[in-house]
A and B are shown apart, each in its own frame.
Chain A
Amino acid sequence: MFDSIFSFLFKYRPAVFAHGRLGFEPPIPPVVLVVGVTILLAGVLVTYRSTRGRIGRRYFFTLTGLRTALLALLLLALLRPVVVVSTVIPQENILAIVLDDSKSMQLADQGDAPRSSLVSRTFSSEEAGLLHDLSERFTLRFFRFGTDVARHDRAQPLRFGETRTNLGAALAGVRRELTGVPLAGVVVVTDGADNVADNLAESVLRYQSDGVPIYTVGVGREVLPRDIELSRVEAPHQVLKGSSVMVDVMLTQSGFRGERVTLNVEDGGRIVNSQEVRLAGDREATVVRVKLTAAEAGARLFRFHVPPQPGELISENNARDVMISVEDRREKILYFEGEPRFEVKFIRRALEDDQNIQVVTLQRTAENKYLRLGVDDPDELVAGFPATREELFAYRGIILGSVEASYFTHSQLVLLEEFVGQRGGGLLVLGGRRAFGEGGYAGTPLEAVLPVVLPRTADAEFFSEVAVGPTPAGLVHPVTRLADDGTQSRERWTGLPRVSLLNPISQSKPGASTLLTGRSDASSESYVVLAFQRYGKGKAIAFTPQDSWLWQMHADVPLDDMTHETFWRQMLRWLVSNVTDLVTVATPTEQVEPGETITITADVRDSSYLGVNGAKVTASVTDALGTETDYPMEWTVTEDGVYRTSLPTELAGRYDVRVLARRGDAVLGEGHAALRAEPQPTEFFSPAMRADLLKDVAAQTGGRFYTEATLGGLAEDVRYTESGMTRLESHDLWDSPVLFLALLAIVSLEWLLRRRRGLA
């Protein structure tokens, strides 16, 4: 409607002014015109001046102002205003028509007709309608796109069966196809539900730099009437057997505001968790935290789903599958304690029943005297704390107790820093009289690793008893979550006995997360109790109390209370989670469409965790039928220790990948991954028409966005562009209705005022 009104008033569509520039083409020299109008204006002033006594000062200025405006408009018209715009030369340019051929075009979200009906009606025949108008000026080239883009033969109907919408690849493909030809523009007809949005910006930028406009035609509704969607499921990729896994499930909906639905979780077809969820407002996300127990080893497929609700338009987006690799292995942690203290006893006690965690303890019991516990062989740690990469990096986690920094050589401190940053291990530093600043760690290589700020001066006499409580982050973190319910978890924390601090740490680093804080009753000060940060490939954790064993021993703690054990098990399991192996296998996604080819990447390290180049790396893949095939992996050359291969997934089902790395006869290591090739309803996730995206693409390239209602103006708008074979056209504006209406309005108003004052 806006376009219609605009065209009526200004003679031309908005696109003319958007792409053109205003100018003047006066038939006679402008100086003559200006002088003439000035003389007329002087005459007006003289005329009205004689009537000033009769009409008053206010009317005098109003009438002279109106007459002046009238003369100015006349001058404007006499100067012959024009809009100069670049216009395509008919039949000298190509216009690409790119049609969305994906499954989301089958949705019937506007009545009974599917989205694809617009394509069928409007873009199938050149004998009439939009295509006819376009074909008179352009040579049309048709493309269809989904996962990729291809030329479209209009003799063959579109099937609207593509499983992905890759708009970026489509635009890039069209540009490549039409390189070297005069391309006036690209018309894209789509719902904009781009679900492979990793290269769209780059493609759009290319069009922008080439000056080729993209005209987007949006199909479908921006908001679906009634739909619930499992937008995202965030779960750890790998956990130890027996771990409690916290999974975040995000639900979005429209039309079900405030209603309650059930979220079910299945493991191998068996429901393992079920929760009632109250949905938030329309298009607002509801995040649900689900707790699972990784009871069985292997690659476990968990299905999260909400049963279809009455009146729901799409049910395919009510479920998501997530694969979690449950590892049944013993993760080795080195706990180095600088002095005998009860924390050692109770941490070991808390973990003694955990079959997946091995705590090797090196305890300094006196000067140059050590106690080794939990070692694998008599020679392990016989020389004290490890001094080489091979020895230290054999562990997946390190716990440092109350041991002063001066105990270590500088090389060992650097080694600890590299253990976290390069090897990707987990470092946990406990509080004590010889820890943190009091242990002299300020100014050492470990200071950068720690997630807390060390005071510049040590305080050997510092002591504070604190009541520990979780931060908002701590309420939901897998380490500090003590109950399924956040409120219950907080109550358990606040019910624990006080613990004591010997290190005055009150600040975490900006990039760190604080999970627990402690408040002193004596001073009302607040201290950091538990904080962590990612450092390089690994993570560093600071736990400042020196006597968490009180959470087990204290008289206020019931004998059957498992808080202390739960906390330490969760802590140490998390410490070694996501720690890199000697061979780490990764795929871009764990789920593909059958027939897709997926890239497998292996990161191969030696015992020092340095990348190994030139190794013989093979991926043995077992498909759903049990057939094992070997795929040699090639070194990427650009990255140390990184190897790749491509895996075609012809069969549907599960693929188990085992990567073996060798150097000569020696086996460097082995890694595993699993993925599934199954038809995925990707097209039904976020299928609403993304008007904002399409508008943005058009705006960035100088095009325009259309819906079915405004599509009529496309043929005219496409003419005005600087892309392709064009010429400049000058269009008169002096005869625009808006100018005439303005003149008429001024004259009418002046006549009315003159009549009121008796001058007419």
Chain B
Amino acid sequence: MLQRLAPSPIRILVLRGRAMVALLSIWTVSSGVAQTGGGSPDDPAAIDRHTRGRAFYFTRAVYTDVERRGRFGWWSVDYPKADRQFLMGLTRLTGIDAHHSENPVRLDDPELRRYPLVYAVEVGHMALTEAERTGLRNYLLAGGILLVDDFWGSWEWANFQSEMAQVLPGYPIVDLPADHPLLHVFYDLAEIVQVPNVGLGRAGGRTWEKDGYTPALRGIFDGHGRLLVVINWNSDLGDAWEWAEDPSYPIRFSNFAYQLGVNVIVYAMSH
């Protein structure tokens, strides 16, 4: 039986740091429309080439979690710095016409369907409402792709799996094979690197959290073999993007995080 470990001091620091980021995000999200590249602008005059006309918007899923924390919720971990930092790398490395700013959208918001790729973190804490499940289900079946990241261990896996079974009942979760096109569409990724959170990364020791010892890249496919959900379990791309500029955070983790992120997006835009 897996034991749930007591939070370490480092973890507490990390959590506090995240709380500060979450507080920062309150201001960011409440500024809302002016900062985001999408959502549903109330003012039609705000619809322009930048709010609607770019080829890609890095869209972060806003969802209901087990603690019902709303604006401070688990969805906002690493937000918005991770989003912005990732976008900087994405536009530098590829030819994608990406909007430079974050784009949080609720799963039950019809506007979600304007963004065929959506990113969700800390999905081990998901507690979706029926409207969110329906919204996400329709989104995936219409052709959208969900990338989930930064959830660790068996307990969080079980929760995520339970949620996805309600979103896509009957759709199994399978391992992505090493030769899957997603791993070779832009960068050739020969192995799945476990990307630690910023604290563990700086510490230079273990990279795992809870009982998430081994990273796994998994997926959910539809009956036509189309990839609907990309699952990055026991790994934390968000932190690697967020702290890529930090010299104490190992560059190899950020490199892999960017490479995998770019691959997912290029794949999502072509398959």
Residues of A within 8 A of B (CB): 338-342, 344-346, 348-349, 352, 361, 363-367, 369, 371, 373, 433, 461-463, 465, 500, 502, 521-522, 546, 549-550, 552-557, 559
Contacts and interface: CB of A to CB of B under 8 A. Distances in A.
Give the contact-size bracket for chain B: 20 to 34
26 contacts: A338-B95, A340-B55, A340-B265, A341-B55, A341-B97, A342-B55, A342-B116, A344-B269, A344-B270, A349-B143, A365-B94, A367-B95, A463-B52, A463-B53, A465-B47, A465-B52, A522-B47, A549-B116, A549-B143, A552-B142, A553-B113, A553-B116, A553-B144, A554-B113, A555-B113, A559-B138
B170 interface: no
A502 B116 CA distance: 20
A521 B268 CA distance: 31
B252 interface: no
B142 A366 contact: no
Contact of B270 (A371, A554, A555): A371
Interface string B129-168: 0000000001001111000000000000000000000000
A340 B266 contact: yes
Interface string B66-102: 0000000000000000000000000001111100000
A340 B95 contact: yes
Contacts of B113: 553-555
Given A365-B266, A549-B116, A550-B114, A348 B49 contact: no
A361 B53 contact: no
Given A345-B269, A349-B226, A553 B95 contact: no
Nearest to B226: A349
Given A465-B52, A553-B142, 9 more contacts: A338-B95, A340-B94, A345-B268, A369-B186, A433-B97, A462-B49, A546-B55, A553-B114, A559-B138
Interface string B238-271: 0000000000000000000000000001101111
A365 B95 contact: yes
Contacts of B270: 340, 344-345, 348, 361, 363, 371, 373
B204 interface: no
A546 B55 CA distance: 9
Contact of A500 (B44, B53, B143): B53
Contacts of A339: 55, 95-97
B95 A364 contact: yes
A553 B224 CA distance: 17
Contacts of B179: none
A554 B114 contact: yes
Contact of A371 (B53, B186, B265): B186
A340 B224 contact: no
B177 interface: no
Contact of B48 (A463, A546, A549): A463
Contacts of A346: 143
B217 interface: no
User: Looking at chain B's contact residues, is the secondary structure mostly helix, strand, loop, or mixed?
Assistant: loop
Nearest 10 A-B pairs (CB), nearest first? A555-B110, A463-B49, A341-B55, A340-B269, A555-B113, A339-B95, A463-B53, A366-B94, A340-B96, A553-B113
B58 interface: no
A371 B185 contact: yes
Interface of B: 44, 47-49, 52-53, 55-56, 93-97, 110-114, 116, 138, 141-144, 185-186, 224, 226, 265-266, 268-271
Contact of B266 (A371, A555, A557): A371
Of the listed residues A346, A371, A559, the one surrounded by the most CB atoms of chain B closer than 10 A to its CB is A371
B269 A502 contact: no
A344 B271 CA distance: 8
B268 to A, nearest CB: 7
A559 B142 contact: yes
A365 B271 contact: no
B142 to A, nearest CB: 5
Contacts of B97: 339, 341, 433
Contacts of B44: 521-522
A522 B55 CA distance: 21
A365 B94 CA distance: 6
B138 to A, nearest CB: 6
A556 B110 CA distance: 8
B95 A342 contact: no
A161 B93 CA distance: 80
Nearest to A564: B143
A433 B53 CA distance: 9
A345 B97 CA distance: 16
Contacts of A557: 142
Nearest to A344: B270
Contacts of B111: 555
Contact of B49 (A344, A345, A502): A502
B271 A345 contact: yes
A554 B144 CA distance: 10
B253 to A, nearest CB: 22
A461 B271 contact: no
A499 to B, nearest CB: 10
Of the listed residues A338, A339, A340, A366, the one surrounded by the most CB atoms of chain B closer than 10 A to its CB is A340
A463 B270 CA distance: 24
A367 B95 CA distance: 7
Contacts of B112: 555
A240 to B, nearest CB: 22
A361 B47 CA distance: 31
Contacts of A369: 186
Contacts of B47: 465, 522
Contacts of A550: 114
B264 to A, nearest CB: 12
